C-alpha cells in the first residue's frame, strides 16, 4: 500500500460507501448526502444569531449516532455531517452581520464594520457575494495546507517523539492554550486546571474511584458530553440570556434594507479583492494551526493588515475601512474562514483539539470508535491496510466536497438565509437548552447526567462572567486522561525516573517552552497595565 493507494481508498470510501439512492443510474452514497445536509444546516445555524456551529453539532451528534450506530461505517457519514456544519456555519455567520449589523458567530463581528454600511448603501447582495467568495477562498486554501501539513507533522511526531516527549508535548499544548485563549494566562491556567481535575474525578487505577467523595453518582466520573455540552453550550445559553435580559434588547421590528444598483461580483472586483484575501488566508491558516487561538483573533489581524494595505492603495473616492469597503469584508471573512481547516492540523496530527468544532469531531470519533485522532492515524503501513488512515483521507475528501458545495450552491443558499435573523433569541435559547439537555439524556439515559450538565453549565456561565474562557477547561477535560496515561507509561518506560520530563533533551525543551509561554504572556500583561 502506497500513499496514493491510501488517498484513493479514502476517496472511494466517501463515494462508494453505503448507497442512499441512485441518480441517473449513479449511486449516491450516504456520506455525500450527509455532507450536503450538514453544510446547509451549518449555513442556517451560522445565520441565526444565538446559535453557532458547536450548538448544532451537539444537538446532531446523538441523533447521528442513533441513526448510524457504533460501526466503522458510521464514521464518515457522521464526521462528514459535522464537517459540513463547521464549514457552513463559518459562511453563514456573515449573513446577519451584513444584513442586520448582528454577527451570527463571534468571529463575524469585524464583518459588521463594513458589511452593514454596504447594506445601508443598498449593496447588501454584493456584500454577501464578497463575504461568500472570500470565505470560500480562505477555507479552501486552509484545507489544502491541512492536507499537506497534518500527515508530515504526524509522521515527524511518531518518528522523533517517545513517551516522555509526548507527555511534555501535551503539557506544552495545555500551557500554550492557557496562555493564549482569553488573553489571561492566569485565568487560562485556572480553567485548564479545573478541566483536568474534573476529568480525574471517578477515574484512576485504584479500586477506589478517586475524588468521588464516596458518592456512587461520582464514582463513574463525569461523562464527557456533560462536561463539554454543559460548559460550552449551557454556559453560553445562560450567559446569552443574561445579556439579553440586561440590555433589555427588544425583539421589535428588524431594520429593512433595499437593494440598489449593480449587485454582481465582477472579475475586476475579484482581482481587487484577491490581495486582501490572500494575506488574510495566510494569517488565518497560520493562526488556526496553533491550538486554541480562535478565528476572532484571525479576523482582527486579517482586518488590521488589510486596512494598512488599503490606506496605501485605495482610490480617492472609495469608502474607507469601517465605512463600507468591500475589501474590509474580504479581509475579515477570508481570515476567519481559513482558521477552520488549519484548526484540524493539531487534531489530526497530535490529537489536540484547537477549537470547539474540533472538540465535537473528537467527541464523535470517540463515541463511535475505530478512529482515534492523533499521530498514529498517519501510519502508512505497506503490508496491511491502516483503516484509520483511510478514514483520514476520507475526511479530507469530505472537506473538499464541502468546499465544492460552498463554491457552487453555498452563495445562493447563504443569501436566502436572512430570514433566520428574525427568530427572537429569548425563544430560541430556552429551546436550545431543552434540545441540549435532551441530547445529553438520550446518550447517557440517566437523569444525573442532566444534573451534571446543568452544574457544568453554571460553571461555564460563571467562567464567562468573570472573563475566564471555558475552552481550556474543555480541552483539558478531553486531554486529561491521555496526559495521565502517557505520563504513567513514560514513567514506567524510564524505569521510574521522576525527572523524565527534564532528562530527555526534547522533552526538556518542550517543558521550558511551556513555562516560558506562561511567564512571557503574564509579564507582557503586567507591562501593558
Partner 1 sequence: MSQASRSNLVIGLLAIAFSALALFAWIPLDTETGLIEKVRRQITVGDALAPSVAAVFVGVGGLLLVVFERRAPNQPVLSTENLLFVLRLLVVIAIALLTMRFAGPAIVWLANVIQGTELEYRLLRDTVPWKYLGFLMGGTIMVFGMISVVEGQLRLRLLFISIAAVLAVMFVYDVPFEDLLLPPNGDV
> With binding defined as CB under 8 A, does residue 523 bind partner 1?
yes
Tell me which H or E stretch contains 140: helix 124-160
Instruction: Say how many C-beta atoms besides its own lie within 10 A of residue 494's C-beta.
Output: 17
Beta bridge partners of 27: 22
Q: Minimum distance between the CB of residue 122 and partner 1, rounded to whole angstroms?
A: 34
Residues 129 to 148: which contact partner 1 by CB under 8 A? Answer: none
CA dist 247 and 244 (Å) reads 6
Residues 258 to 277: which contact partner 1 by CB under 8 A? Answer: none
Q: Minimum distance between the CB of residue 521 and partner 1, rounded to whole angstroms?
A: 9
Q: Minimum distance between the CB of residue 433 and partner 1, rounded to whole angstroms?
A: 7
Candidate residues 442, 493, 512, 516; the one interacting with partner 1 per rule CB under 8 A: 442
Q: Minimum distance between the CB of residue 441 and partner 1, rounded to whole angstroms?
A: 4
Residues found in the chain: 529
Report the candidate in 33, 92, 34, 41 with the shortest Cα–Cα distance to residue 64: 34
Residues 383 to 422: which contact partner 1 by CB under 8 A? Answer: none
Contacts with partner 1 by CB under 8 A: the residue count is 79
Residues 314 to 373: which contact partner 1 by CB under 8 A? Answer: none
> With binding defined as CB under 8 A, does residue 502 bind partner 1?
no
Report the candidate in 273, 136, 177, 207 with the shortest Cα–Cα distance to residue 475: 177
Residues 467 to 496: which contact partner 1 by CB under 8 A? Answer: 467-468, 476, 480, 483-484, 487-488, 491-492, 496
Task: Kindly write out the interface string for residues 178-217 of this chain, putting x where it contacts partner 1 by CB under 8 A and - elsewhere.
Answer: x-----xxxxxxxxxxx-xx-xx---xxxxx-xxxx----
Task: Pinpoint the alpha helices (H) of 93-123.
Answer: 94-100, 109-120
Could you tell me the three cell numbers for 1? 500500500
The set of residues, in sequence order, having a beta carbon less than 8 Å from that of 3 and lying 6+ positions away, is 380
CA dist 360 and 42 (Å) reads 14
Binding window for partner 1 (CB under 8 A); candidates: 18-26, 132-140, 354-362, 518-526: 518-526
> With binding defined as CB under 8 A, does residue 246 bind partner 1?
yes
Q: Which is nearer to partner 1, 148 or 520 (CB)?
A: 520
Largest CA distance in the chain: 75
CA dist 112 and 96 (Å) reads 9
Q: Minimum distance between the CB of residue 268 and partner 1, rounded to whole angstroms?
A: 43
User: Residue with C-alpha cell 459588521?
Assistant: 112
Residues 447 to 466: which contact partner 1 by CB under 8 A? Answer: 447, 450-451, 454, 458, 461-462, 465-466
Q: Which is nearer to partner 1, 149 or 241 (CB)?
A: 241
Q: Which is nearer to partner 1, 200 or 378 (CB)?
A: 200
Residues 40 to 99: which contact partner 1 by CB under 8 A? Answer: 59, 62-63, 66-67
Candidate residues 416, 446, 493, 503; the one interacting with partner 1 per rule CB under 8 A: 446
Task: Pinpoint the alpha helices (H) of 351-406.
Answer: 356-368, 387-405
Q: Which is nearer to partner 1, 7 or 238 (CB)?
A: 238
Could you tell me the three cell numbers for 232? 460550552
The set of residues, in sequence order, having a beta carbon less than 8 Å from that of 163 and lying 6+ positions away, is 486, 489, 490, 493, 494
Q: Which is nearer to partner 1, 246 or 315 (CB)?
A: 246
Candidate residues 148, 156, 419, 434; the one interacting with partner 1 per rule CB under 8 A: 434
Q: Minimum distance between the CB of residue 498 and partner 1, rounded to whole angstroms?
A: 7
Provide φ and ψ at 251, rounded to 5°: -95, 35
CA dist 302 and 111 (Å) reads 11
Tell me which H or E stretch contains 19: strand 19-23
Report the candidate in 522, 510, 528 with the shortest Cα–Cα distance to residue 190: 522
Q: Which is nearer to partner 1, 168 or 289 (CB)?
A: 168
CA 496 to chain centre: 38
Q: Which is nearer to partner 1, 42 or 480 (CB)?
A: 480
Q: Minimum distance between the CB of residue 275 and partner 1, rounded to whole angstroms?
A: 35
Q: Minimum distance between the CB of residue 186 and partner 1, rounded to whole angstroms?
A: 4
Task: Kindly write out the interface string for residues 215-244 of this chain, putting x where it contacts partner 1 by CB under 8 A and - elsewhere.
Answer: -----------------------x--xx-x
CA dist 45 and 418 (Å) reads 11
Q: Minimum distance between the CB of residue 188 and partner 1, rounded to whole angstroms?
A: 7
Candidate residues 427, 493, 512, 516; the one interacting with partner 1 per rule CB under 8 A: 427
Do residues 221 and 477 lie in contact, with contact meaning Cβ atoms separated by under 8 Å?
no
CA dist 23 and 37 (Å) reads 17
Residues 330, 333, 336: CA angle, nearest 5 degrees: 140
Amino acid at each position: 500500500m502506497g500513499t496514493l493507494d491510501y488517498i484513493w481508498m479514502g476517496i472511494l470510501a466517501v463515494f462508494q460507501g453505503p448507497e442512499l439512492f441512485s441518480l441517473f443510474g449513479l449511486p449516491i452514497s450516504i456520506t455525500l448526502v450527509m455532507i450536503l445536509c450538514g453544510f446547509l444546516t451549518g449555513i442556517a445555524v451560522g445565520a441565526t444569531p444565538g446559535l453557532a456551529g458547536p450548538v448544532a453539532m451537539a444537538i446532531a451528534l446523538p441523533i447521528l449516532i442513533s441513526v448510524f450506530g457504533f460501526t466503522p461505517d458510521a464514521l464518515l457519514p457522521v464526521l462528514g455531517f459535522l464537517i459540513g456544519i463547521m464549514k457552513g456555519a463559518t459562511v453563514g455567520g456573515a449573513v446577519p452581520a451584513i444584513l442586520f449589523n448582528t454577527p451570527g458567530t463571534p468571529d463575524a463581528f469585524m464583518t459588521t464594520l463594513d458589511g452593514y454600511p454596504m447594506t445601508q448603501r443598498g449593496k447588501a447582495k454584493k456584500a454577501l457575494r464578497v463575504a461568500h467568495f472570500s470565505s470560500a477562498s480562505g477555507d479552501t486554501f486552509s484545507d489544502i495546507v491541512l492536507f499537506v501539513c497534518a500527515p508530515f507533522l504526524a509522521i515527524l511526531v511518531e518518528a522523533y517523539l517517545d513517551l516522555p516527549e509526548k507527555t511534555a508535548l501535551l503539557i506544552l499544548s495545555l500551557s500554550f492554550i492557557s496562555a493564549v485563549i482569553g488573553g489571561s494566562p492566569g485565568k487560562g491556567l485556572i480553567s485548564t486546571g479545573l478541566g483536568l481535575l474534573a476529568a480525574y474525578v471517578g477515574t484512576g487505577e485504584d479500586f477506589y474511584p478517586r475524588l468521588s467523595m464516596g458518592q456512587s453518582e461520582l464514582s463513574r466520573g463525569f461523562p464527557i458530553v456533560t462536561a463539554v455540552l454543559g460548559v460550552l453550550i449551557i454556559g453560553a445559553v445562560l450567559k446569552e440570556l443574561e445579556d439579553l435580559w440586561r440590555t433589555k434588547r427588544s425583539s421589535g421590528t428588524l431594520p429593512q434594507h433595499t437593494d440598489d444598483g449593480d449587485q454582481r461580483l465582477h472579475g475586476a472586483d475579484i482581482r481587487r479583492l484577491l490581495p486582501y484575501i490572500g494575506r488574510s488566508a495566510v494569517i488565518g491558516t497560520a493562526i488556526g494551526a496553533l491550538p486554541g487561538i480562535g478565528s476572532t483573533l484571525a479576523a482582527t489581524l486579517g482586518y488590521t493588515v488589510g486596512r494598512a494595505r488599503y490606506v496605501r492603495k485605495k482610490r480617492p473616492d472609495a469608502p474607507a475601512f469601517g465605512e463600507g469597503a468591500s475589501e474590509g469584508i474580504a479581509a475579515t471573512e477570508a481570515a476567519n474562514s481559513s482558521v477552520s481547516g488549519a484548526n484540524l492540523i493539531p487534531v489530526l496530527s497530535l490529537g489536540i483539539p484547537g477549537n470547539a468544532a474540533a472538540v465535537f469531531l473528537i467527541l464523535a470519533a470517540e463515541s463511535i470508535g475505530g478512529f482515534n485522532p492523533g499521530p498514529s492515524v498517519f501510519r502508512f503501513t505497506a503490508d496491511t491496510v491502516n483503516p484509520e488512515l483511510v478514514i483520514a483521507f476520507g475526511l479530507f475528501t469530505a472537506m473538499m466536497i464541502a468546499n465544492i458545495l460552498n463554491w457552487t450552491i453555498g452563495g445562493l443558499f447563504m443569501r436566502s438565509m436572512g430570514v433566520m435573523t428574525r427568530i427572537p433569541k429569548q425563544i430560541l435559547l430556552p429551546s436550545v437548552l431543552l434540545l441540549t439537555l435532551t441530547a445529553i439524556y438520550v446518550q447517557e439515559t440517566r437523569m444525573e447526567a442532566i444534573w451534571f450538565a446543568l452544574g457544568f453549565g453554571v460553571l461555564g456561565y460563571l467562567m464567562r462572567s468573570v472573563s475566564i474562557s471555558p475552552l481550556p477547561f474543555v480541552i483539558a477535560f478531553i486531554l486529561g486522561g491521555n496526559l495521565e496515561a502517557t505520563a504513567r507509561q513514560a514513567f514506567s518506560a524510564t524505569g521510574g525516573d521522576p525527572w523524565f520530563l527534564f532528562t530527555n533533551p526534547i522533552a526538556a525543551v518542550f517543558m521550558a517552552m511551556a513555562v516560558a509561554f506562561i511567564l512571557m504572556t503574564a509579564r507582557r500583561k503586567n507591562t501593558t497595565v
